């Protein structure tokens, strides 16, 4: 079920959204939903990258963690 929400947009954004069919969208709502979905994916990707970078930094500075990881890999089944 879709819920309705009101937003304030500047004039150039409104003109862009009004031309939605030129870009293959059915209506302005579809443009906004698509844009927000892409923004959400981008932000989640940024968070994932930031998290991976942090884990890499922690791993790099923690010799005990490196040894534990290497020991686990040595015991990992080889195919």
User: Which token pair is 41?
Assistant: 């994916």
Which residues fall within 8 angstroms of residue 3, CB to CB, at 6 or more apart? none
Number of domains in the chain: 1
Q: Is residue 68 part of a domain?
A: yes
Percentage of residues in the chain with pLDDT exceeding 70? 99
Q: Is residue 4 part of a domain?
A: no
Three-state SS for the chain is: CCCCCCCCCCHHHHHHHHCHHHHCCCCHHHHHHHHHHHHHHHHHHHHHHHHHHHHHHHHHHCHHHHHHHHHHHHHCCCC
Residue span of the structural domain in which 66 resides:
13-74
Q: Is residue 31 part of a domain?
A: yes
**pLDDT tens-digit readout, 25-75:** 999 999 999 999 999 999 998 888 888 888 899 889 989 888 888 888 887
This prediction has a pTM of 0.62
């Amino acid at each position: 079920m879709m819920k309705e929400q009101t937003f304030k947009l500047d004039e150039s954004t409104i003109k862009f959204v009004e031309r939605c069919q030129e870009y293959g969208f059915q209506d302005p709502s579809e443009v906004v939903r698509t844009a927000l979905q892409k923004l959400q994916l981008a932000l989640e990707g940024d968070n994932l990258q930031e998290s991976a970078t942090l884990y890499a930094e922690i791993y790099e500075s923690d010799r005990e963690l490196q040894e534990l990881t290497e020991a686990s890999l040595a015991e990992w089944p080889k195919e």
